[in-house]
Structure 1
Amino acid sequence: MARSNYRYPLYRMRHKARFSSMGNRENAMGVNVPGFVDEFTLHYAKVNLTIMQRYGTAGSTLEHSTIIAIRHNEKVKQPMLVKLADGNTYSITNISANNDSYISYDLLTLELNTKGK
């Protein structure tokens, strides 16, 4: 059986992220309006980049991005919004999925969402 390239101990998966997607939701007046609807919550670990990785992203669109690791989950897809424990909402810009084994992790690259706050 193939092994995952990266592993995260359970104590690092202590943060919770809320995942949302575009859909219709009911406003206070009972009218369906388009917007982001909460779908599910997952635990995640923060991924720290090395100094060389940080220098490599300097000046690029990835400079202000965040990377998190989650247990492999088929429900996570683009476009989705993710609300992290820091209270900020992020858009998923890349999903590095890994389903090699029963204990696999996906790396999500997130960019701070400044639209529709």
Structure 2
Amino acid sequence: MASAGTRLRRAVVSVPFLFIAAFCLHIMDPSTIVAFQQPFADSGVIEWDGGKIPIIDNFHGIYFLDNIFRGGMATFSASTFGYDPVAWWQIFSFLTDLGPVYAIWILESYRVGYAYTPAYL
């Protein structure tokens, strides 16, 4: 198990990344995202030139979660269904860039020094 000093040093080094994440969250434009998803979420159907698909109203069985993910499905439909080639390429690039990060995180979480810490869990 890592000493308290080592853990504190690692926590201090990670603070700039937390600030970067908070800054990114702040500069996102949620009003544009909501404006894009609203017509799909209101109608209950995602339509594009090549087809249409209904949004499932009671997927989780929990009203709060169903409302949250209903908008998310409408927001990310352009990239997941592929009717917008730019959005599809961006999500593909994002996932391929994120894969190594997940792999490192998984491998690092199995180190003995991280036993029963947030990284491990």
Higher helix content, 1 or 2: 2
Q: Which has the higher contact order (CA 8 A, sep 6+)?
A: 1
Say whether the fold is shared (TM-score over 0.5).
Answer: no
Question: Which TM bucket (shorter chain)?
Answer: under 0.3
Higher strand content, 1 or 2: 1
What TM-score does the superposition give when structure 2 sets the normalisation length? 0.24
What TM-score does the superposition give when structure 1 sets the normalisation length? 0.25
